[in-house]
Structure 1
């Protein structure tokens, strides 16, 4: 799978959001705010193919977390990305 290449991560103060650059008016119902971990993962996945295992490994290598928790969190994040159309078909 891949992240949509047309989406841009923007930082507004202490917030990080995903924006669709083609939108003339920002549709606030389609704004996604990310926490620091989601930003870390998004930045490293941009422009590359990845799997659930890729995300699990990123979490294990960069955070002190048990593998089962990393897997659960990675799956939840990718499901959220998919549900909100942030992944390429």
Structure 2
């Protein structure tokens, strides 16, 4: 899977927002807010093919998190990305 290439991560202050830059005026109903870890993962994954295991490895390599927690966090993140339409089909 891949992240949608038409979306851009913008950081405003401490907020991380996913926006569609092709919109003439930003529709705030289609702006997605990420926490700092999800924003970091977005940057690591953009433009790349990845799967659940990729996210688990990134979390384990860069954060002090055990395998079970990394698995759970990766599942939640992917489910959120899919539900919000942030992944390419």
Coarse TM-score class (shorter-chain normalised): over 0.9
TM-score (norm 1): 0.96
Secondary structure of the structure 1 residue equivalent to 2:47? coil
Counterpart in 2 of 1:75? 75
Alignment deviations for residues 51-70 of structure 1 (CA, whole Å, 9 cap, x no partner): 00000000000011111110
Structure 1 residue 7 displacement after superposition: 0.4
Structure 1 residue 24 displacement after superposition: 1.1
Counterpart in 2 of 1:19? 19
Please list, as runs of the form range in 1=range in 2, the aligned pairs for 1:32-51 lying within 5 A after superposition.
32-51=32-51
Stretches of 4+ aligned residues off by more than 2 angstroms: none
Secondary structure of the structure 1 residue equivalent to 2:73? helix
Residue ranges of structure 1 left out of the alignment (5+ in a row) = none
Secondary structure of the structure 2 residue equivalent to 1:33? strand
Figure out how many residues of one structure are paired with residues of the other and give that number: 89
User: In angstroms, what is the RMSD of aligned CA positions?
Assistant: 0.7
